[in-house]
Each structure stands twice: as C-alpha cells, then as structure tokens.
Structure 1
C-alpha cells in the first residue's frame, strides 16, 4: 500500500523519531511510505533513510495550508492509507477533504486527548492506555515505542571509554546522562533542574558528571544553573551539550541514565541502569520490582517526593557498581526482548491492512466529527483565554501544545 505518513513535525522528539523509523522499517513488509511533514532538525535523519519526503507547511500554519497540502499530496500520490501522528495532524486530517481516506492515528503521549475523533482507529504505546481506550469504545491498537537496536545497544567497555573521551570526562567520574527536551511539557525541564541540584550535592563527596543532551525553551536556565554549579566546585559537574542528532554516545558514556518514554528505553538498550522520571515529583529506579508497572503503564509516572526520591536512587546506584551492572543487564534484556524496531514494524504492517479494510458508516463519522469539533473548540478556547490551571489540565490529557 502507498501510505502517507504524517509526523506532527520534524523537531526532536520521540514521536517524530518513531514516525521516521517506523516508516523506514515498514518497507520490508511491502508497504510504500511517503512522509509529509514540515522540515526540522530531524530532516537529516529522514533523508538518510531514503524515504520519499513531501515538504509540508507547519501544522499550525494559517489558512489551513497544512490540510490543503495534505489533500493535494494524497491525490497526487494516490495514497491508499493515511497515518497521522499526534493530535493536531489527526484533527486536521479528520476534518480535511481526505476524511474518506482510511486513516490511522498514533498518539505516543501518555494520554489521548478526549477531543480526537472516535471513528478513527488509534495506535497507543502502553497496554494500560490501550485498555482505557477500549473501555471508552475506541478502536485502539498497541504498538509499544520501538528502539533501533542497531544504533542503541551497548558495545562494551571500549565504546564507553571512547564516548567519555569524546565528552572530555575524566577517569573515575560517575556519569549520569539525560537525553530530553528542555521544556516544561511533562515537567521535563523541572526534572533536569532537580537532577542538577542532586549532582551539585553529590559532587561534594565524589567526582560526578551530569551529561545533558537536548534543547528547548529551558536551555538558558539549564546553562545558567550549570555554570553556577561548576563555578562553585571549580570543575565541570554539569555538562549541557545541547541538541544531538545522534544521542548514542551520551547514553554510552553513562553509568546511570535518567529519562522517560523512548529516552528511558534507549538508555536501557545500552545496558545502563535507569531512574525513570515523571510528573509531580516522580522518580523511581527501574528494577525487578518496579518493571511490571512500567511495562504496563509506560516509562513514566506521576507523584512522588521529587528531589528526595531522585537523590536516594542515585546514591544507591552510585554506591554499588554490582547493582548497576545487574540492573543494566536486566533492562537491556527487557528492551531487546520486547521493544525492537522489527517487532513493532511487523505489528504496524498488520494494523495497516486492518485499517485499509475497515469501513465506517457515514452517520457514525458525522457524530464523531461533531463531538470532536465541540471538544477541540473548548480546547482552543482554553489555550487562548483559559487559566494556567486549565491549560495544564489539557496537557495532562495529552493535548500538549
């Protein structure tokens, strides 16, 4: 099938990388994907895959430019199926002139915005979220976030030494790595700032290097805080390295990885022990006891003691290399056995066939779109005129602006 794949953008992020990697991998199952998206920092990765790419306006461009371009591209390519990622492209596709084209939505956030059309099939990334969507009457498939094991996999002590040399990390330093967007969405920035505070404390008693890869609106705050901590100690404790197109060396250099979602999985793929970050002070070490909740609900969480939990997790892991090795090997086995890119691509190939064969009657579609229009209107009104609390509530429901 000719599949038009629409990531919501080509900026750095797990969903966008997932869209590109899955589009590339799906070709071995006989599908012919074409990517429709505005350019961004991931354009280089997209070009390296040799996927056909149609450049789109930004999804929030005025005058429905994105939707009109989508319709024209679908006609020109004679697309058989549309695969849209995240809520904004999903809405625009549902209300555009391609609404009769078989369409699959993927939402890789930790929740699904309630205003998304209910008549379109949906892909989510955790078993717990799939169960909730099925209970709401949605047609929900499960494809867990895939990891390219050819790129993200531990290659031994020599590779770790080379990665540390690249980043100028001295022998004997305990390296804590975080690959994340420096944004307030899902409290990622807050988590990085908490990690800087803990690294500052730990540096009083041992050589520590907190290696931070990523950018966003919080970059300046992170740079300022890192400079202050480093000046206080007289050596580099916190090392922000900005956006990295290839993050493998950041993971490989680590003794411990901090992260959520696909970043957490990539850290484990490299054989590193993981402390999972979430919202409202959530930090928890991935181990044999906590793994079942993460496998079911996703590599994320809500609620905790914040910096206290993070400090206890890092101190415990820092003090015991044997525990780090055991948990690193355990996490690597989980990722290798469950989250490989080939496994996910095979699942998606089957979902594409089901989606193409599915038919929705007109009355069901009309009711779904009417409900979606009313809900999305409330969302956009809140974004423009609502309180900070209202906007935060929408973000918790997956409608991250």
Structure 2
C-alpha cells in the first residue's frame, strides 16, 4: 500500500507522535508511507525513524484550499492510495483532497470528542471504547478502535538514559520524591490540573518531601510560570521546576518517582514502570491500580470529577497513599508496565492499523460515500463555524473545542472491559 499520513500538528503532542510512530511501524511491515504537514519540532523524529517528509503550505483557515491542492498533487504524483488525517482539520482536508480522485481518505481522532462534521461515511479510528460506541450511535458506519500505542523498545526501564546531567542542570535534587508532568501547557483540559498539582506541592507537609517537574510549552506557559514562581517564593525553595518543552523527555520519565497527567504521556510513564495518577477535568485525579484500570480502558486516560475546587484535595489524597508506602509504589509501577506491554505495544498496533487500511481499500461503500452524508456534514460544519463566531463575539471561545469537552454519551459495562 502507498499511504500518506497527515498529523494535525508537527510540534510535540500525543496524537501527532502516535501518528508518526505508527507510520514508521507500518512502513517496517513493508508498505510505502510518507508524512505530510507543516514544519515543527517533530520533524527530527520523522527523520530519525526513516520516514520521508512532505512540507505542506501554511493552512490559514481550515479546511485550507492550499493544503487540499497540495495533497492532490502528492496523490497524483506518488500514486497514493490512502490519505490518513489525524484530528478534524487534516481529516476534512484529506477527504476533500480525495474527492472524485483515486485515493481514499480515512481519519483518526484521539481527542476526547469527535467533530460531528466529519462525514459519517468516512472510515474512522478513535482512541477509546466509549467514544467508539458513542460514534456508532451517532450513525457512523465504519468506526474502529486504536488505543494510543507505545514503542516499548524506545520507552522502557533499563535504557541507560543520561539522567543525572539534565537533572542537575534543571535543579532536580532528588531529596524525597520527584513528581513529573510532561504535557502541552494548554488552557483547555491541561491547565486546571497543572495548577492544582503546583498548589498541592507548594503546601505539602506530609513527611516525604516532594518536587514537581513540569516539562512542556504552550499558550498557558506564562500562567504556569507565574504559579510556579509564586509557589517557590511561598516555600522558600524550588519545589516546582519548569523545563520548557523537551525534545526527548524520556530521561524525565526515567528519573521520576511518580508521574501525573493524561493520555499518551501517562502511557509513556507506564512503559517506564512508574506509578501514575491520571488527571482529568473538574477536579478529577485517580491512581491507576487494578480497581481503576477498567474505567480507564473504557473512557481513556482521563476523567471528569465533581468540580474544580475538589482537585487539590483529590490529588493530595492519592499522593499521600504513594508517598507513605514505597512497596506500593513499586507494586503499582510493575502493574503499569504490565498493562502497557500486554495491551498497548506499538507492534500490535501497527498490525491493527494495516488491517484497518486494508479494510478501507477493500470497501466499495467507502469509495462511494453518499452525497447526502457530505451535505449533512457541510451543514454541521456551517453550524460549528457560526457557533465559533458567536463564542468569539461573547469572549467565550476555546482554542481546542473537541479536546475541551469529552464525549461521555454512554455508560461503561466494566464487567466486559475487565475481560
């Protein structure tokens, strides 16, 4: 197969890193795979993995005609059979680029909700059982599950990473427990939990000292930096360390005693055998253990709590359990590693991805999506744009709509997930 993979961004982030690593693994299985996108910090990762990179023009408004025409040229020149867009803007641009042409478009959405204006006939992969079920009920005809895969060769204990030098450079003293957050510093989803973690560490008085290391960058960076500086001033010591974005944060996963976060970052921490506390919204924090695993396998590595004001106390309660019990930390770290190895390995995911591609190319229904489906998607997109305009006029617009609100439309059957 000849496949073009189009991540939604080429800067560090879980969805795009998954797209690139999966593309390299699919190529290793004997297929022709290229990456397309705008230049960003992950370009080096593309090169390291031996993938060809096609630079697309800056998009402007999405979907972008400039990008669509560029994709059409690549499809024609390279004989591309399938264009795989990640998240809604690349998915729509891939769909329009393939319109009335020889190639077929497919989509992966790893956000917490799927944009309703992605055509219902477009082959779709999502990251959780819950979202897959919700989208089938919405009327999508071809929905598959692709849980975020982890390269367990590049992310595992015992890699011998250079940990001491960067730890000393950033002032990570190792006196007590080191907590780590590796995250995009975004206002939606991320910021609430990061600020709660800073607050907990700043007020910590439970015996075992804590130091929190936050690696990442983004639009909320100034807010995070201000909160960290205030926390350190209040404590009279550097309890919160900000590294900015790390091109390779694996040394921090290896150095950490406990990792906080959500999504792909948590899975990478688990691959390093670390105990993890999953962050969500509205004050959600929960330790990963045998009791909580079915919940996360159903809804993803995320959750929704009872309210923002409960976040700091929820996190503090989970941290106290871990800080007081070294054997529990070791036990849960081993449990984390076993979950990743058994369920989230990159090799198994690549084979599932190839099966998905083969099914898309073999299906006549996917080749001839109904005009009515596209028309309905166009109406929903127009409604979305009007809603965005109204939100901007009210001053309530968010930067990342479909990661800012989760699609919690169904209740899990945890007995099935356990099996």
**Partner deviation per Cα, 1:55-82 (whole Å, 9 max, x = no partner):** 0023435861111111111111110111
Partner of 2:12: 12
Partner of 2:76: 75
Aligned equivalent of 1:382, options 378, 383, 387: 387
- SS of equivalent residue, structure 1 residue 141: strand
- The aligned length equals 397
- d(CA) in 1 for partners of 2:139, 2:8: 25
Please, which moves more after superposition, 323-332 or 198-207? 198-207
Aligned equivalent of 2:342, options 337, 344, 351: 337
Please, which moves more after superposition, 91-100 or 134-143? 91-100
Structure 1 residues not aligned, in runs of 5+: none
What's the CA shift for 1:161?
Answer: 5.9
Aligned equivalent of 1:243, options 245, 257, 260: 245
Cα distance change on mapping 1:54 and 1:159 into 2, 3 Å: closer
Does structure 2 retain, via aligned residues, the 8 Å contact 1:152–1:269?
yes
- d(CA) in 2 for partners of 1:271, 1:160: 16
What's the CA shift for 1:21?
Answer: 0.4
| Structure 1 segment 62-141 matched on structure 2, within 5 A | 64-96=65-97, 98=99, 100=101, 101-138=103-140, 139-141=142-144
Partner of 1:372: 377
Does structure 1 retain, via aligned residues, the 8 Å contact 2:95–2:104?
no
- SS of equivalent residue, structure 2 residue 34: strand
Partner of 2:405: 396
Structure 2 residues not aligned, in runs of 5+: 408-419
Please, which moves more after superposition, 275-284 or 51-60? 51-60
Partner of 1:28: 28
Partner of 1:142: 145
Cα distance change on mapping 1:71 and 1:312 into 2, 3 Å: same
- d(CA) in 1 for partners of 2:347, 2:26: 8
What's the CA shift for 1:206?
Answer: 4.2
Cα distance change on mapping 1:157 and 1:290 into 2, 3 Å: farther
Cα distance change on mapping 1:354 and 1:233 into 2, 3 Å: same
- d(CA) in 1 for partners of 2:92, 2:161: 48
Cα distance change on mapping 1:209 and 1:223 into 2, 3 Å: same
Does structure 1 retain, via aligned residues, the 8 Å contact 2:95–2:106?
no
**Partner deviation per Cα, 1:263-311 (whole Å, 9 max, x = no partner):** 1111111111111001111111111110111012111111233111011
Partner of 1:359: 364
| Structure 1 segment 42-81 matched on structure 2, within 5 A | 42-60=42-60, 64-81=65-82
- d(CA) in 1 for partners of 2:286, 2:29: 38
**Partner deviation per Cα, 1:147-181 (whole Å, 9 max, x = no partner):** 11122112289976676446432243210100011
Partner of 1:315: 320
Does structure 1 retain, via aligned residues, the 8 Å contact 2:37–2:54?
yes
**Partner deviation per Cα, 1:314-350 (whole Å, 9 max, x = no partner):** 1111111111111111011001111011110010011
Q: CA RMSD in A?
A: 2.3
- d(CA) in 1 for partners of 2:374, 2:6: 20
Partner of 2:275: 273
What's the CA shift for 1:372?
Answer: 0.8
TM-score by length of 1: 0.93
- SS of equivalent residue, structure 1 residue 35: strand
Partner of 2:263: 261
| Structure 1 segment 146-157 matched on structure 2, within 5 A | 146-155=149-158
What's the CA shift for 1:397?
Answer: 5.5
Please, which moves more after superposition, 59-68 or 107-116? 59-68
Cα distance change on mapping 1:143 and 1:361 into 2, 3 Å: closer
Cα distance change on mapping 1:273 and 1:8 into 2, 3 Å: same
- d(CA) in 2 for partners of 1:158, 1:113: 39
Q: Are positions 1:170 and 2:173 aligned together?
A: yes
**Partner deviation per Cα, 1:208-233 (whole Å, 9 max, x = no partner):** 21000000011111112212222222
What's the CA shift for 1:94?
Answer: 2.0
What's the CA shift for 1:390?
Answer: 7.3
- d(CA) in 2 for partners of 1:312, 1:213: 23
- d(CA) in 2 for partners of 1:159, 1:317: 26
- d(CA) in 1 for partners of 2:296, 2:249: 23
Does structure 1 retain, via aligned residues, the 8 Å contact 2:36–2:54?
yes
Does structure 2 retain, via aligned residues, the 8 Å contact 1:163–1:252?
no
Partner of 1:233: 235
Partner of 2:217: 215
